[in-house]
């Protein structure tokens, strides 16, 4: 079998064994100090949650340079399968989240039997050096 055919077979098997959820998995979307979770997505492969994305919207009048949030992983029965705290912050290539702007953040993980996530914003740091909890 040629390299191209082998690659196409791999893509077909990968596509059939994974699922990508394009709908909101969270009923109550979190809002804190003008920062709102507007969407969540998960990536599943072979019955494991291998990653997630969360989309934030800054409706405050200030620019944000750091966000700390907790992701709780759940199964189809809303039973908790794990949780972890994540941080997004500005850096050399990424500027602050300006007012009326959106931000996508995410991470890879390996959580068994989790196909839903719940996101809770813990704290926000603004560029004027104020914090909201």
And the tokens for 124? 């926000």
Q: Does 101 fall in a domain?
A: yes
- Could you give the number of structural domains in the chain? 1
State residue 31's pLDDT score: 84
User: Domain for residue 42, yes or no?
Assistant: yes
What is the mean pLDDT of each successive set of 10 residues along the chain, which is 133 residues long? 56 50 53 92 83 94 96 93 96 92 93 90 96 93
Q: 44: which 2 tokens?
A: 């599943």
Question: Does residue 4 sit within a domain?
Answer: no
Q: Pick from 55, 30, 28, 32: which is nearest to 123 by CA?
A: 32
Write out the residue range of the structural domain in which residue 78 sits. Answer: 18-132
pTM passes above 0.75: yes
User: What per-residue confidence (pLDDT) applies to 59?
Assistant: 96
C-beta atoms surrounding 30 within 10 Å:
19
| Residue 76, pLDDT score | 87
Closest CA to 52 of 94, 90, 109: 109
């Amino acid at each position: 079998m040629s390299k191209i055919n082998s690659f196409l077979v791999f893509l077909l098997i990968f596509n059939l064994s994974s699922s990508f959820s394009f709908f909101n998995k969270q009923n109550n979307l979190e809002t804190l100090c003008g920062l709102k979770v507007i969407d969540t997505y998960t990536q599943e492969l072979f019955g494991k949650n291998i990653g997630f994305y969360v989309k934030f919207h800054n409706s405050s009048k200030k620019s944000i340079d750091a966000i700390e949030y907790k992701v709780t992983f759940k199964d189809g029965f809303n039973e908790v399968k794990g949780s972890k705290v994540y941080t997004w912050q500005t850096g050399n290539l990424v500027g602050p989240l300006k007012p009326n702007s959106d931000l996508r953040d995410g991470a890879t993980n390996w959580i068994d039997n989790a196909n839903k996530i719940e996101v809770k914003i813990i704290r926000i740091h603004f560029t004027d050096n104020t914090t909201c909890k």
